[in-house]
Structure formats: C-alpha cells, structure tokens
Structure 1
Amino acid sequence: MSNSIHISTISMEEGGELKPKYSVIILGSGPAGLTAAIYTARAKLDTLVISGNLPGGQLMNTGTVENFPGFPHGIFGPELMMNMRAQAERFGATILDDVATSVDFMHNPFIINTVDKRFEADAVIIATGASPRKLGLKSEERFAGKGVSYCATCDGPFFKGEDLVVVGGGDSAVEEALFLTKFANRVQIVHRRDKLRASKILQERAFTNPKISFVWNSVVEDILGDRKVNAVLIRDLTTDKRYELKCGGVFVAIGHEPNTQIFKGQIDMDEHGYIKVRDRTRSNIDGVFVAGDVHDPVYRQAITAAGFGCMAALDVERYLAEKYHHNK
C-alpha cells in the first residue's frame, strides 16, 4: 500500500475531535473492535470506534483473564481492555463512548447514526459482540438487581455467605460457579442435561470443589422472593416434579445473543441473528466487515475475537487501498 494513498485519504485531527466522515468506523470496543482499531489506525486509516452499550465489551465484567497470551500470571479483564483502548488511541484512533442507533448500508459512503450524531464511512467493521441470554421469566425481570445476575465478577461480592444457584452447563456457567465459591456458602449448578458441556479442566475444578453441587436434568421455572430472591422453582425434566430450592441469588449463564438488532434488513444473518461472513471477514455488503462474537457462536474467546479483529482490519486496509486507487 503506497503512502500516497494514505496521504490523500487521511486527515487525522489531533486530540480525537469528531468529524462527519471517516475512512473506517468500527462498531464495538471489545477485543475484536479495539484490535481492529489498533491495526487500522496504525495503517494511517482515519478510524472512529463507537464503543457501544458496554465500552470494553464483556471483559469489563471479567476478573482475572488467564488464557490471553503474554500474561503468564493473568491480567484483570478491565485492565486488559483499557490497555487495548490506550494502544488504539496511541496510533490515532478516535473512540466515542456512544451507541449506534441505526445504520444505512444501502449506499456508500455508509451512514451510522447515534442518538444525536451522524457519521459517514467508506468502510465499516461490525464488532458489536453478543449479550447474555436470559431465561425469559417475568420474575427474572422483577428481581433484576435484587438477586438475579448475569455477571459473577460484578456481583459476587454482594452474596457473601449465601446459597447460590447458577443456571447453565457450559464454560461460562462453571466459571461463574467457581468464582462464586470465593464468597458463597454453597453453589448449586442447575443444568437441563445429565452432563456438563464445559471444558474438561473446568469440569474437574467444579467436581472437586466441595462448595459446588449439581442439579441435573432440571430447569428453573420461576424465581421466588419478596423484596429479593429467596428461592427458585425447579422442574425435574425426568419426573416432571416441581420443588423449591432455597437460595439467596441466581446467576444466569446460558449463552449469548448476538448484538445485531440494528442491522436487521441491512445485512445477511443466520437464523440465530449471527452475521454471515464470506472470504474470512466480509459480509454480503461490499465494504462492511465483521469481527468477533457477532459472527462467531462457537469459540467466543477474547483471543479469537482479537484475531478476527486483526483479520477484518487487514481486509479493510486492502479494500480501501483498491477503492481509493480505483477512484483516483
């Protein structure tokens, strides 16, 4: 890529002042979005990151991250994300703590709207991630913040000495349960099957932890309490019997939903709402790229999201080089 392309298309303003038009706008500020920003900004592409509802992504609600390369003793999730943000800003990316409310991918330049701002971009990277899936119970909404949680790291310290319930059977559920044993008197994992889906090492840790027990082949049908949670209603799927399980809190860890609502009708998605990709990171819209959990329901790791962010940024760089060269 020649320097003349960069010089003719970039007008980076000092101090990260907002402008109406950018070479690339990145939606989302988790590992995928910020890694993409590091690469695009370092390539001298005028880059705006719109952070989304949770600046820094899900790792902002995570304790020690043990499996991100380069940190043999682990690193605190928010610290890792703030480091990524600082690195992107060091190379000249502008980061706006705001939420995209609508997009127009039907014409290029693409249009991205927030509540009170409108931006244009020659290329877009969607890295909006995914959000925790809920049980869908009315009582779940009623007790939100009163004993129902989706983040053990955020809320675990508020449940010291309590008996707790974790719903789910994958890595997230077991990680939540293990973390909660630091505070809880007892943690019971309620799972609809008779075996866990979590990785072997996490299963071993859970099975050997004296504070953790399991309620197999069961689902939570209701969450009970007065001002706060004091029990859940369990249905045994093998016998169809129902009974109350006393607890002081419920942690829901049953998966995630991709944050793609604003893209409906604008871009191809699968039946679960994950954006479809072709040729590594490209969507069906020429110039719109995708990275991270928003298209990856399988791996959903910080390192894979970061890898996808790198790939999307490199693909954007090639795409814009061709676009700008063609338009000369």
Structure 2
Amino acid sequence: MNAVLDCIVVGGGPGGLTAATYLARYRRSVRVFDTGCTRAAWIPKSRNCPGFPHGVGGPELLERMREQARTFGVETVESEITALHRDAEGFLVRHDDRELRARYVILATGCEDVAPDFDGLEAAVDCGAVRMCPICDAFEAIDASIAVHGPADTAAAHARFLRTYSSKVTLVPSTPDIADEVRAELARDGIELTTVPATLSFDGKRCAFELDGRARAFDVLYPMMGIISRSSLAVGAGADCDDEGALIVDRHQMTSVDGLYAIGDVVSALNQISVATGHAAIAATHVHNRLGANFA
C-alpha cells in the first residue's frame, strides 16, 4: 500500500478538479479518481459559465481545468473507486485490485440525468435540440417552441419556469397520472398539456413526438424525467442522504461521516458549475485547515 494521501477526490468534473487544484496549491498531497462520467462533458456550449462571455463547451472547460490541476502537480487516475471505508486512521479506498489510504475524501461524483430512450440522443444534445438544464440555457431558447417531457406533476414546475422565455411551451407527460391542480396551473399559465406520446424521434434538427397518431416537432426538448444521485459510495460508508438520494452536508460540505465531504450535483443544491466550484473551495479549505500546520 502506498503512503497515506492528505485527500482523495472522487470525480473529475468541475467540482472535483477545483477541489484538487485548491488542495495542491495548499501544498497537500491529493489524487483525483475520474471515470469520465461528468455531466459537464455533455454540454455543447454554455454561455452561463462565469468568465466565458462567448460560451464554452463542456469538454473544453474540463480540459482547461485538468490542465490547471496538472500545472500544480495533481495526479488523475482514470479508475473507479469501488469501496470506501472509514476507520481510526482515516479512509481506506479500493480501486481496481488496489487499496489506498487518505486522511480525508471529497466526493464529487455528481448525478445522472434520466433521459428518454431514442436514436440520436447524443446528436440531439450536441445541436441543442435536446437540452438538460433550463437554468443554464433557456435564454438561448427565447421564443422557440419548447416541449417539456416527464412526469407532469414534477415537470410542470420546469414548464412554468420556461414560460419566462417563450409563449410556446408544451408539457408532454410521460405518464397519464396528472393531478387536477397541475392541470389548472398549466392552463392558467398558458402551457399546453398533451396526451402521453407513443414515440419520440429525432430528424437531425428537431425532436418529434407521435401524439394521437400525428407527429409533432419542437425546436427544443427538455427531458425532465428526474436524476439519479451517484451517492451510493458515500451511503455505503454511512453518510446520510435525503429522499432523492442526494447527500446531506453541513456548512463545510462535510457529510454525516467525519472527514468525508461531498460537493456539486451529488449534494442537495442547485445543480450548476458555479455552485460545484464554490462547494469545492469550501470543502478543500476546510480539509486544509483540519490537516493543520504544513510548514516547508
């Protein structure tokens, strides 16, 4: 087994890379484990990211952040942490067939969008026909015909949010169960409610639902079918989570397990890059302070 690290960061998205960069600049030994599953990699271009007035693609942003971390000596391992255990000496983690020790662990494992299953999903995301985050990019959908697809009782809130940007918002429910009060709210706000679609397809430019036997295309589709928190590693180590599986943390981003921190989309908070990097700064600084004096 190798020497004990000051901190292991699990996840190589914007939050994890920011935490690692902070720790390296604090002159702490840190290693990032990255499986490449960050949601940021799906972003074709974000104009909502601070410092990029003309927008930046997720892959480009990630490469810039990886380069920054490498500049300060951060090592990234392309491997999955499969087990995490807290003991009196800190944390024992397992990846592949190896074990590694660290005094602290920061989880930046994120979450996974539940997306509709149809041919061409990646291409649709790449050209902006499918978008995952209204907060990030609804500004670019001003006056477009917008479909919001998901369970009506939860997707309705997203549809109402999007009415700020377009008068042509349609909620396409994924299930037939719709509360009467939801129907009334949608009607009040001028949002059309359709029947449950038979199919969903992509023609290279727009997505179309088959509704009542006829195809109906939209400029932009927002699938709002829920998210899956990648919190099982922390929960397995004893960390508390909410009803949706998001990890519960204190003001320092520490979970209910002493020394185990969580940042970004795996935490119950606003799922934004700027939020994840803020979480990272808070967690990394608290880890540094707990480690104590580090005189050269």
**TM-score, normalization by structure 1:** 0.67
TM-aligned CA distance change 1:199 to 1:45, over 3 Å: farther
Shift of 1:79: 1.1
User: How far off is 1:196 after superposition?
Assistant: 5.1
Aligned match for 1:281, one of 236, 253, 265 = 253
CA distance in 2, matches of 1:75, 1:174: 12
TM-fit CA distance, 1:61: 0.9
**Corresponding position of 2:158:** 197
What letter corresponds to residue 109 of structure 2 in structure 1?
T
Matching of residues 29-68 of structure 1 within 5 Å: 29-54=12-37, 57-68=38-49
Report the equivalent of 1:305: 276
**Does the C-alpha gap of structure 1 residues 121 and 189 become closer, same or farther in structure 2, counting only changes over 3 Å?**
same
Measured against aligned partners, the alpha-carbon deviations of 1:275-328 in whole angstroms (never above 9, x if no partner) come to: 1112331111111111111113x4111001100011110011011117x89xxx
Which amino acid letter does the alignment assign opposite residue 47 of structure 1?
A: V
1:81 to 56, 59, 62: 62
In terms of mean alpha carbon deviation, does 190-199 or 302-311 score higher?
A: 190-199
Which sections of structure 1, spanning at least 5 residues, go unmatched?
1-17, 158-163, 235-242
SS at match of 1:25: strand
Partners of 1:33 and 1:21 in 2: CA distance: 19
- 1:103 corresponds, among 84, 104, 107, to 84
1:207 matched residue in structure 2: 167
Q: Does 1:262 align with 2:233?
A: yes
> Among 285, 291, 294, which residue is 1:314 paired with?
285
Q: Structure 2 counterpart of 1:86, which letter? A: E
Number of aligned residue pairs: 265
Q: Which amino acid aligns with 2:101?
A: E
Helix, strand or coil: the match of 1:110? strand
Change (3 A) 1:269 1:207: same
| Cα deviation 1:245-283 (Å, max 9, x = unaligned) | 536998734332211122333211122111111233111
Tell me if structure 2 keeps the 8 A contact 1:110–1:123. yes
Distance (whole Å) between structure 2 residues aligned to residue 151 and residue 273 of structure 1 = 30
In the alignment, which residue of structure 2 is the partner of 1:70? 51
What amino acid sits opposite 1:118 in the alignment?
A: E
TM-score (norm 2): 0.74
Determine if contact 2:105/2:261 at 8 Å carries over to the other structure: yes
Residue 294 (structure 1) aligned with residue 277 (structure 2): no
Residue 182 of structure 2: aligned partner: none
Distance 1:31 1:175, change over 3 A: same
Q: Structure 2 vs 1, CA of residues 167 and 96 (structure 1 numbering), >3 Å: closer, same or farther?
A: closer
Inter-partner Cα distance in structure 2 for 1:116 and 1:261 = 20
Q: Using the alignment, how far apart are the partners of 2:257 and 2:94 within structure 1?
A: 18
Unpaired runs of 5+ in structure 2?
173-191, 202-206
Give CA deviations for 1:106-141 in whole Å, capped at 9, x if unaligned: 443311112233211110001111110256xxxx4x
